[in-house]
Structure 1
Amino acid sequence: MADKKKLRLVGLSGHIFLALIALGLAGIIIWLVQSRLDRHLPWVNLQPPGEVVGAKTSFTLEAGDQDSGLKEVRVTITQGDLEKVVFNRQFPPGGAPGAREELPFTLEPQALGLKEGKARLSASATDRSWRNWFQGRTTILSRDVTVDLVPLNLAFVSVNHLLHAGGTGVIRYRLNKAAKESGVVIDGRFFAGFPQPGGTQGEYVALFAIPRETPGTVIAEVVAKPGAGPPVVQRVTLKIKPRRWRHDKMNLSDNFLHKVAADFKTAHPGDPLNAYLEVNREMRKANHERLRQVCSRSNPQPLWSGGFQRFLGKPMARFGDRRAYIYQGKQVDSQEHLGEDLASLLQSPVPSANNGVVVLAEPLGIYGDTVVVDHGLGVFSQYSHLSQINVKVGEEVKKGAVVGKTGTTGLAGGDHLHFSMLLQGEFVDPLEWWDAHWLKDQLEGQWKQAATPAAPVKAAAAPAKAGKEKKGKARPVKKRRPPQ
């Protein structure tokens, strides 16, 4: 009996030992399977982002896998029925679990037999897991691209010859193909070009603001940016007629300063002078930036018809006036006046200067209740200090349609209209735009003339202003005007 019992114990121990071995093997197998059937997909990225592939474009493939590591990465490009491998790399070496791989390569579409046009660029990363019957898991990143093999060519055509400081210029140019962006750079400011009205494909015009302070000669750059590669630039020398801007002194009364401090929210509510200076400086800058944003998009064709209509009022301040602000006998500030102040009867109806679309109709800081109208090709008109606004954003208006009534809103000392003309957010002299002959000859004449290259010529005399002005030093303005 004792021997039988002993044999049973030995047999039981053997079974337990075998069971433990089986459990251990099962655990090892489960661990191996779990480790090779990882939980995370591999990741892949392609830099730089973009939708255009040039004749020779450099990329960097970024990829990795957190669990099992990378097995292979591949980049292909497909155009129609043609598919070509651009880059391929297998691991190891490299591609360890958690490692980030950055692999540069160059794509030359023409060498692969691709043509200009649409294509699809794909990057894939495969890990070393046992999933998909030991083939691993794959992540694919694809993007539609345009193959751009023809170099972008730019040719300057012409520029209007009456170029005055603070005025408007227009340059015509040709492109052999569509560019990502094109236009004119002058004084560090970019003015986008538009398809030439009535022109053929590839003909463009760019209206630009001429700097108000200029030595007489300015270099303008006609710029076109291709989808890939550096921009194409052609420099043009422009002869600018300088201007002698008027100078004026604006006396600030305590009553006016207290009114400004009460009407505007500032950081100096208990200090009328500093409250006024904050409004006149910082708020003015913010308002001008707001106008640049509003005027950054424009109808690609001219909406206007004929010369721009002038509001019938007495000139109280002119475009480009240099203003010195005087308080208690001392100059406390200086600013440029960037429009025409016109005074008529109280709350006079204000007509739209020309056909267009309303893009702003709201209070605008120092300018008070304001309307801005887009006339196309980057041209905008501004109507400020209104007591009433009669239009809404998006509304189409005809020349002469009433957009509001004159008033004293904003930083105005009396009922009047502040009228400005802007090119893509930059102020220009309204006098030119009120001149139907200038508009026809200098502006519209540029895109209606034969497309013959012409070098810029010396500017003629500046357009005549209301009243006589003697030569020599700028004379002070004696009339008192509402400060702005």
Structure 2
Amino acid sequence: MKRSKRVFDKSKVNIFPFFVLIVVVVICYVCYIQFFKVPKFSLNSEDKISTAGFSARLDSEDVSIESIEIFLIVNNDKKFLIYSKNKFDNSKSTHDLDVGFNENSEFIKYIKKAKDTELTLTYNVQYKNKFFNSELNDSYLINVDFKPPEISNIETDGYVYLGGVGYIRLQSSLDVAKLYLDNGNGDLFYPISNKKNDVIEHLIFFTCSNRPCNQNKVKIYAEDFAKNSTVVFKKIRTIKNKKWPKYLIKIDRENFTDKYNEILNSNIQIINKNDFLRINKVERALNESKIKKLTTDISLKKYFKGQFNQLANSKVSSYFNEERSYYFSDSKDEIIDIQLHWGYDLSSTQNADVFPVNSGIVVHVDNSLGIYGSVVIIDHGLGFYSLYSHLDNIYVKKDEIVNKNTLIGLTGTTGMAFGDHLHLGIYLQGVPVDPVEFWDRKYLNLKIDEPYKIFSSKSSKVNN
């Protein structure tokens, strides 16, 4: 029998080198992930801390942080655990760490006794990359910064009208990381800032809203990156030039039930006391909280010019800080709820044209903001905002630049409005102020335009 000869196909490719190449690439990739995709820890104050603590930053791009421990070693001898955290939001790639010290702790006592104490900061970060659990350890020498930031040259006219706006100009040292004004009523106001030579110029617009400033003074707080802080109090007199009105508001159950169902997308037959409180107290608080968030940011540029306009041919039907006591028409003796009115209600003809009170940028458009109904919010710069609610139609969009001649909508009855009108609110960094002050050209020039003109002539702005 004749045997066939086996023939090899020389055209076949040897895949072994490709396999080796793939293995090498995979190994290189794994090594890259392991050795280059690691967290990065840094102090915001470079190599300094204070006796109050310090702030730090942990960057974690492409890794998940499991935990971090931070230690301070004194004179290469005593080791103190000063910070520990084992829960992180790993949807973020940057984590801010705020480390505070107890004034009576043993560690702080060491520092205060010997200001030339040698300190070493060391940390351990447990993390996961795409392939492994791993850890990062490092340490470096640090210094203690005992010097607090400086505040100087405070200027103000020293008074505010009830419900009105005040201003303070001041200077700080260049090491300031955070600065704000506290009116003592639970509100904080942040500055716009200018660097000038070896200082930072600050301008803060503030209000004490519907109350006098607490104890007729405001607190200015400054903090550096090492968490040293300085506090200065400034006397501010509140001129009580107005009395807030008080009204009894009668609620017709049947008419109010229709509004309740419209606003809360419900289908109840007739409202009771709890229903009324749900919309007038709970829903109102939710709506006001949202408005506060939408009107808090500070645009460093001033968009508005001149006095703010009132709705054309309108009459004031409700005032700022009006106290409203509500009762059912069939139960007059029981006051159900008491609320304050944060704006002016302006009545004109039905579906009257609504224009911005001044130039600005539309930052929010909402067709159903609870009791406020259809709403437009405009940013006028420097922390000032205007709100227009109960609108029937809206003709502007978010991020649109507007002026006094831009038609933004029509007055209406959306939300908790029982007659056609415009609710106008003015806000400063999220805090409501009396709109009537902004219809006075002289007042605006004295309290806002002139202080800003002096400030803006100093130098280029920086965001503090």
Is the TM value for this pair above 0.5? yes
User: Aligned partners of 2:286, 2:178: CA distance in 1, in Å?
Assistant: 27
Q: How much is the aligned-residue C-alpha RMSD, in angstroms?
A: 4.2
Matching residue of 1:129: none
Letter in 2 for 1:421: I
Q: Which residue is 1:163 aligned to?
A: 160
Q: Per the alignment, in what secondary structure is the counterpart of residue 163 of structure 1?
A: strand
1:192 aligns with 2:222: no
Question: Could you list the per-position Cα deviations for residues 333-365 of structure 1 after superposition, in whole angstroms to 9, with x for gaps in the alignment?
Answer: 211111010111222221111121111111211
1:393 corresponds to which letter in structure 2?
A: K
Q: Displacement of 1:430 after TM fit?
A: 0.5
In the TM superposition, residue 427 of structure 1 has moved relative to its aligned partner by: 0.5
For the 8 Å contact 1:156–1:173, the answer to whether it is kept is: yes
Q: Which letter maps to 1:298?
A: I
Tell me the CA shift for residue 228 of structure 1.
1.7
Moved more, 375-384 or 206-215: 206-215
Tell me how far 1:207 sits from its aligned partner.
1.3
Q: Hey, what does 1:326 align to over in structure 2?
A: 327
Measure, in 1, the Cα distance between the counterparts of 2:143 and 2:354. Answer: 49
For 1:348-396, what per-residue CA distance to the aligned partner results, in whole angstroms no more than 9, with x for missing partners? 2211111211111112111111111111111111000011122222222
Task: Give, in angstroms, the shift of residue 202 of structure 1.
Answer: 1.2
SS at match of 1:228: coil
Counterpart residue identity of residue 341, structure 1: D
Secondary structure of the equivalent of 2:336?
strand
Listed as ranges, the matches of 1:70-219 within 5 Å are 139-141=136-138, 151-155=148-152, 157-186=154-183, 187-195=185-193, 202-214=200-212, 217-219=215-217
Assess if the C-alpha contact under 8 Å between 2:148 and 2:228 holds in 1.
no
Match of 2:302 in 1: 302
SS of equivalent residue, structure 1 residue 152: coil
Determine helix, strand or coil for the equivalent of 2:174: coil
Summarize deviations over 1:242-292 as a string: whole Å, max 9, x none. 231111121111232221232132899355133222111111111111011
Q: 1:404 aligns with which of 409, 422, 425?
A: 409
1:336 aligns with 2:340: yes
CA distance in 1, matches of 2:122, 2:205: 41
Deviation at residue 296 of structure 1 after TM alignment: 2.2
| Partner residue in 2 for 1:383 | 388
Confirm whether residue 416 of structure 1 aligns to residue 421 of structure 2: yes
Task: Flag structure 2 segments of 5+ consecutive residues without an equivalent.
Answer: 1-33, 55-68, 79-106, 126-133, 457-464
Q: 2: distance between equivalents of 1:449 and 1:325?
A: 47
Change (3 A) 1:183 1:146: farther
The amino acid of 2:156's aligned partner reads V
Q: Which stretch of the first structure deviates more once superposed, 419-428 or 303-312?
A: 303-312
Deviations 1:2-22 (CA, angstroms, capped at 9, x unpaired): xxxxxxxxxxxxxxxxxxxxx
Which residue of structure 2 aligns with residue 290 of structure 1? 290
Aligned to 2:350: 346
Contact kept in structure 2, 1:268 and 1:275, CA below 8 Å: no
TM-score when scaled to structure 2?
Answer: 0.66
The match for 1:223 is 221
Structure 1, unpaired ranges of 5+: 1-39, 60-72, 77-84, 91-103, 114-120, 126-136, 452-484
CA distance in 1, matches of 2:111, 2:399: 45
Q: What's the counterpart of residue 378 of structure 2?
A: 373
CA distance in 1, matches of 2:207, 2:327: 30
Counterpart of 2:318? 317
Counterpart residue type for residue 343 of structure 1: S
Equivalent residue for 2:249?
Answer: 250
Is the contact between residue 158 and residue 446 of structure 1 (CA under 8 Å) also seen in structure 2?
no
Kept in 1, the 8 Å contact 2:376–2:387? The answer is: yes
Residues 146, 307 of structure 1: CA spacing in aligned structure 2 closer, same or farther, 3 A cutoff? farther
CA deviation string 1:173-228 (max 9, x = no partner): 11121522212101121111112699996111111122413389522001112112
3-state SS, counterpart of residue 258 of structure 1: helix
* CA contact 1:315–1:343 (8 Å) conserved in 2: yes
Instruction: Name the amino acid aligned to 1:191.
Output: F
**How many pairs are equivalent?**
358
Deviation at 1:160, TM superposition (A): 3.4
Q: Which residue of 1 aligns with 2:92?
A: none
Q: How much has 1:171 moved relative to structure 2?
A: 1.4
Contact 1:318–1:339 at 8 Å: present in 2 too? yes
Counterpart residue type for residue 44 of structure 2: E
Counterpart CA distance in 1 for 2:171 and 2:342 is: 33
Structure with the greater alpha carbon radius of gyration: 1
Within 1, Cα distance between the matches of 2:181 and 2:226? 19
Amino acid in the other structure paired with 2:233: R
Partner of 2:459: none
Query: What's the TM-score, normalizing by structure 1?
Result: 0.64
Q: 1:196 to 1:251 in 2, by over 3 A?
A: farther
For 2:385 and 2:341, the matched residues in 1 are separated by 17
